[in-house]
Structure 1
Amino acid sequence: MSSNSIELNLENNIAYITLNRSEVFNSFNREMALNLQQVFDDCETNPEVRAIVLTGNGKAFCAGQDLKEVTSPELNPGFKKILEEHYNPIITRIRSIKKPIIAAVNGVAAGAGANIALACDIVVAHEKVSFIQAFSLIGLIPDSAGTFFLPRLIGFQKALALAMLGDKISAEDAEKMGMIYKVTALDDFEKEVGKLAFKLAQMPTLALGKIKEAFNQSLTNNLEQQLALESKLQIEAAQTEDYEEGVAAFIEKRQPKFKGQ
């Protein structure tokens, strides 16, 4: 399945979603934002999908908002619509889908593009990649949950400085400060992403979704609330077929064969 601006390919229970506006460094216009939301919805409801990879076509992951759209009298949807109908729904989908999502950052990730990547569950980038909170450079503030996730990933002081200064951060530095999970060599990037996605797709999908739910709620829960949530989710996880298979495989000293059920 594909559209003009988004490509979707399913392989080995992995949905590969590719932002496909390489001529403008995969910057978002309204069509691409709405298409991406639909593709996420399709992946969420498709039982064949057990892991998702989000990446970009060409030299960039995503350069954020297409500024030609917002400066065009004919095309400009306005910032209220851009945020409430484009970026905010994309972020909420990324966090609510109960399947692991890898951001495979293949090139520069700037503005909303950087923050969409950071909202994903696992971020992998190659050594030539850079991340930029570019908003202040044109008189804006970070959106797409940048002010929410970035300080939680790297700390308040560092995040605030990057948001204000708009510094370009290398993938290596992003890994060191805890912004992303892993940086790879350029030549190994696709192979490493594929290995990671395949591993996730073979794991107990329902349990991974519950792990994601627990971490999401930990961002706002107190200790008592989080302990109660862990109890609830653990009881639910213990009722799955994959739990039974995992225990049986451990006792029988063999590799488990999870089905995502």
Structure 2
Amino acid sequence: MAFEGYERFEFAREGRILTATISAPGPVNAVDAALHAELARVFADLQHDPDSDLIVLTGKGRAFCAGGDFDWFDEQIANPQKFREIGWEAKRIVTSLLELEKPIICRMNGAAAGLGATVALLCDIIIADETAAIGDPHVKVGLVAGDGGAVIWPALVGMARAKEYLLTGDLIRAKDAVGMGLVNHAVPAEQLDAKVAEVAAKILGNPRFAVRWTKVVMNQTLRQLAVQSMDASIPYETLSNMTADRAEAVAAFRERRAPVLSGD
């Protein structure tokens, strides 16, 4: 498969490994409308690619994917219909990633925040630059953590820790995230590629369908949780986009000041 028509991804092959690199405008691979739409279809395309048995997902530049693009946020606040229209995409990003049978390694080369963190955590194995940070600061920009964070964080770190980090929006350094069970390995940046290659080789050394179907079985619970949760979480996130505090939180972030919240 040539993966034609993608504007926010670059693809490269090495043997049976296919690397998909998020390559969005700007320095941190922020999610805009185009990237959101491509995330909703890329994992299905990766599943159907006949020439790969393992996927590496990474980001171009200094970040993996540092959450939503603020110009896009402004559009959604000004016209809530734009937010409403991406609900199907939001669900499909999560469900298609969980339905991908091929093992997928997240090469977390830098910050992973918001939807970027969700995508990273839904991968099978995360190998991170030890200086990178991961977290879900939806609440800091006035949104419900509805695009999969409420599904995957409790599954990985337990409800108490998940609530703390989703309700505060705090970020976690990769070295600390290893001890919590969020990240598999945190290594110096210069060792990142070698560690990814090491883990990929171990996986590819095993029979293809034993690997794929073991993953399928393990993901059953997460798929059921996603179905149960996201039909509620996406509507709640859509509602939160229309609050006064959402607009104030985004404006305050842009202006680098503390938000003046009204409680609405």
Q: TM-score range by the shorter chain?
A: 0.7 to 0.9
In structure 2, give the amino acid aligned to 1:143. G
Partner SS for 1:41: helix
Give ranges in structure 2 of 5+ residues lacking alignment. Answer: 225-264
- Please, what TM-score do these two structures have when normalized by structure 1? 0.77
Find the partner of 1:202 among 195, 202, 205.
205
How far apart are the structure 2 equivalents of 1:80 and 1:27? 19
Contact 1:22-1:60 within 8 A present in 2 as well: no
Structure 1 residues 93 and 175: CA distance shift in structure 2, 3 A: same
Q: Which amino acid aligns with 1:83?
A: G
Query: What residue in structure 1 maps to residue 169 of structure 2?
Result: 166
Distance in 2, Cα, partners of 1:167 & 1:217: 29
Aligned to 2:43: 40
The one-letter code of the counterpart of 1:116 is: V
Q: Which residue matches 1:182?
A: 185
1:151 and 2:133 matched: no
Partner of 1:57: 60
By relative contact order (CA 8 Å, sep 6+), the higher-ranking structure is 2
Residue aligning to 2:82: 78
* Structure-1 separation of matches of 2:185 and 2:26: 27
Please show how residues 79-94 of structure 1 align to structure 2 within 5 Å. 79-85=83-89, 87-94=90-97
d(CA) in 1 for partners of 2:201, 2:39: 22
CA-to-partner distance for each residue in 1:156-210, whole Å, 9 max, x for gaps? 1111010111112000110001111111122101111122223323322211221
Contact 1:53–1:102 (8 Å) recurs in 2: yes
Percent identity over paired residues: 31
Alignment correspondent of 1:29: 32
- Which residue number in structure 1 is paired with residue 235 of structure 2? none
Q: 1:138 to 1:37 in 2, by over 3 A?
A: closer
The equivalent position to 1:121 in structure 2, one of 114, 121, 124, is: 124
* Aligned position for 2:141: 138
Query: What is the RMSD computed on CA atoms of the aligned residues?
Result: 2.1
Q: How far apart are 1:22 and its partner, in Å?
A: 5.1
User: 1:34 offset after TM fit, Å?
Assistant: 2.5
Q: Distance in 1 between matches of 2:28 and 2:178?
A: 23
Q: How far apart, CA to CA, are the structure 2 residues paired with 1:77 and 1:100?
A: 36
TM-score normalised per structure 2 = 0.77
Contact kept, 8 Å, 1:12 with 1:198, in 2: the verdict is: no
Q: Which amino acid aligns with 1:163?
A: L
Q: Which amino acid aligns with 2:163?
A: L
Is 1:52–1:100's contact at 8 Å kept on the other side of the alignment? yes
Q: 1:5 aligns with which of 3, 8, 14?
A: 8
Distance 2:197 2:87 in 1: 32
Gaps of 5+ in 1: 222-261
Match of 2:114 in 1: 111
| Equivalent position amino acid for 2:216 in 1 | E
Residue-by-residue CA offset, 1:40-83 (whole Å, 9 max, x unaligned): 22221122210001110001100122121131379976222223
Displacement of 1:33 in angstroms is 2.4
Output the CA distance in 1 between the equivalents of 2:43 and 2:166.
28
Contact 1:14 1:53 in 2 (8 A): yes
The question of whether the paired residues in 1 share the 8 Å contact of 2:129 and 2:174 is answered with: yes
SS at match of 2:85: helix
State which of 17, 31, 43 in structure 1 corresponds to 2:20: 17
Structure 1 residue 148: Cα displacement: 1.0
Aligned partners of 2:56 and 2:80: how far apart in 1? 30
